[in-house]
Amino acid sequence: MKRRGITLFEIMVVVSVISLLFAFSYVSVFGQMKKARDGERKMDLDVIKKALEVYYDSSGCFPDSLVCGQDLILDGAEIIKNIPCDPSLGISYRYVVEESECKSQFEIYTNLEVLSDQSIATVGCSYGCGPDCDYNYGVSSTNIGLDKCIDPSAKQYVCAPGGGSLGSCEVYADPAMSLCPKVYLNDLTCRDECSDPSNRCKNASGKLIPQD
């Protein structure tokens, strides 16, 4: 019996299958690499935050700047060796402090590569955070929250000043102007937290004025 050889079409089919398998494997491995780098970023920020708290407890101020790769030292004591750099870019994480001689608060920002990571929504950075809304993840000192950018279509409910024993949950155009400690996006009940005076705005200057 004459043996049939492999046709060009069969070779092309085999090559196509191998290419598809390689592509799927590459996508899977690449996705895992991104998750691993994001995990490292989260851990880096947590390590830096804890080191900054130690620094503050000893000096009463946070450092003026952080440069990755350098040691964080206070009075000759090493707080953290080799401040972590971004695992893929090799640059410092964005460190934000107020303009004062003694820094009393801080924010640190980065960008996670996996945009579906639930941590982005958990920290409130779904619409961006930090300077120019350029980041999607961060940590901060306990006396300040992250600078969050919000959905322009979302209504900002706050606990209005006054309001008696139960308080009053209202829409404000600019909660920051009224020094509101909490903002409840699209939550007309304000989580029923307005009975606590500490959750109420300091004044009504940022209240939304209905348009005619």
Inside any domain, residue 1:
no
Give the three-class secondary structure for 75.
Answer: coil
Cβ partners under 8 Å of residue 118, min gap 6: none
pLDDT of 87-123, one tens digit each? 999 999 999 999 999 999 999 999 999 999 999 988 9
Cβ partners under 8 Å of residue 88, min gap 6: 37, 113
pLDDT of 121-131, one tens digit each? 889 898 899 99
Inside any domain, residue 99:
yes
Of the chain, the end-to-end C-alpha distance in Å amounts to 93
Q: Say if residue 68 is in the same domain as residue 35.
A: yes
- Domain count within the chain: 2
Which residues lie across from 107 on neighbouring strands? 96, 140
Give the three-class secondary structure for 137.
Answer: strand
CATH code of residue 68: 3.30.700
Containing structural domain, residue 188: 150-212
User: What DSSP element (H or E) covers 72?
Assistant: strand 72-74
pTM higher than the cut 0.85: no
Confidence of residue 22 (pLDDT cuts 50, 70, 90): low
Q: Say if residue 117 is in the same domain as residue 204.
A: no
The residue among 204, 125, 122, 146 whose CA lies nearest residue 170 is 204
Joined together, the tokens standing for residue 165 give 């024993």
Inside any domain, residue 3:
no
